[in-house]
Structure formats: C-alpha cells, structure tokens
Structure 1
Amino acid sequence: MVARIKDVEGALVDFWDWQSQGSCNTMDPEFFFHPEGERGGPRRRRIERAKRICQSCPVLEQCREYALSHGEPYGVWGGLSEEERNRIVSARRRGKTA
C-alpha cells in the first residue's frame, strides 16, 4: 500500500510541477485575480498587466490548457482572462456537439 501512495504522490508532484516554473510563481495573486467589485478601467488594466507577465512565461501553454480543461472560473491563466476562457470553452463545446 505504501508504494501505491508514493506513486500517487509522485504523479501529483509531476502534475503540478509546471506551476513552480511559472513567471507568476512569486508574484502577488492580486495581479491575476480581481478584488471584489473591480470593474471598468481598473479591471482592464490589471488584466493587461497580468497578460504581459504571461507573455514571456515558460509554462504559458500548460497553464492555459490547465485552466481551460479544469474550468478555472477566476483570474488570468495562461494569458487569458475569464471572459476569453469562457468563449474558448463555449466554442469547444459547440464544436463537439456539432
């Protein structure tokens, strides 16, 4: 049984390892997740700042695909805002049902 737990632990570490390599790893999460009630210009500027950080991230693709496949509802992930991810997920669903 112990060997099985170790296998699972290793698999989990491998699954999440990409996050430790992200450009955002040591940054304040407020750069990527909006505070309660943030709207308009301040929200757009925060999203654009977060996207600029993502542009040069070595794990941008892994982050983006994780957020899309796991339905991350909040924040900027892989250079995509919440609204952009929602559009992509909706388009993927339409493509699968068509």
Structure 2
Amino acid sequence: MIERFSPSGTLLSMHTEMITTPDLAWQEEALCAQTGADFFFPEPGSSVRDAKRICALCPIRSACLEYALSNDERFGVWGGLSEKERLALRRTAH
C-alpha cells in the first residue's frame, strides 16, 4: 500500500489518499519469469505456440490470466491466452 499526500499549500493539503498496489508475488513463481519475455511478447504475426506450451505447465496460470483481465493487458500472452483470445473472453463476459 502506498500513502500519497497532496502538496502543501493546496486545499487538499490535509488529505491523505491510500493507493493499493496489486500483489504481484505470484510473478516470482511464474514459469515465464524463468524463461524470458521474448516468448510471451513476440513480434506481430509471430507464433505464440511456445508461450502457450510454457503457460500450460505453469502452476499460477489462473492468477496470471486474472491479473491480465483485471488490468486490461493488451499485449503478449498472459495466462495462456493471446491478446485476441483475451479480448474475445472479455466480450463474452459482458
């Protein structure tokens, strides 16, 4: 959690706002953290097959996908799904 204060001399100088930061500890256990980003953020038009194979073996795949969907990650493979697959999933969820 991060505490943020308004600059002194403003009307909100006494206002304190708490900003919660996402818990990203799961990323340390992710297989992609041990593999490298090249598989998961390929050049446009490149295959994501290798990334999906790694994701299929990853024990925290669901946490990764949940993070990507809740944070509107638009690039790369997250939780075993490509950008297009996550977009389709978001559209069917609404």
- TM-score (norm: length of structure 2): 0.74
Q: How does 1:1-98 map to 2 (within 5 A)?
A: 12=21, 15-35=23-43, 38-39=44-45, 43-44=46-47, 47-93=48-94
RMSD: 1.9
> Distance between the aligned counterparts of 1:70 and 1:91, measured in 2?
17
Larger Rg: 2
Q: Where in structure 1 do 4 or more consecutive aligned residues deviate above 4 Å?
A: none
Count of matched residue positions in the alignment of Structure 1 and Structure 2 = 78
Instruction: State the Cα distance separating 1:89 from its structure 2 match.
Output: 0.5
Structure with the larger strand share: 2
TM-score, normalised by the number of residues in structure 1: 0.71
Give me the identity figure in percent: 38
Residue number in structure 2 paired with 1:96:
none
Q: Between the two structures, name the one with larger relative contact order (CA 8 Å, sep ≥ 6).
A: 1
Gaps of 5+ in 1: 94-98
> Which sections of structure 2, spanning at least 5 residues, go unmatched?
4-17
Q: Match of 1:83, as an amino acid?
A: K
Answer 1 or 2: which has greater helix percent.
1
**For residues 20 and 67 of structure 1, what CA distance do their matches in structure 2 show?**
16
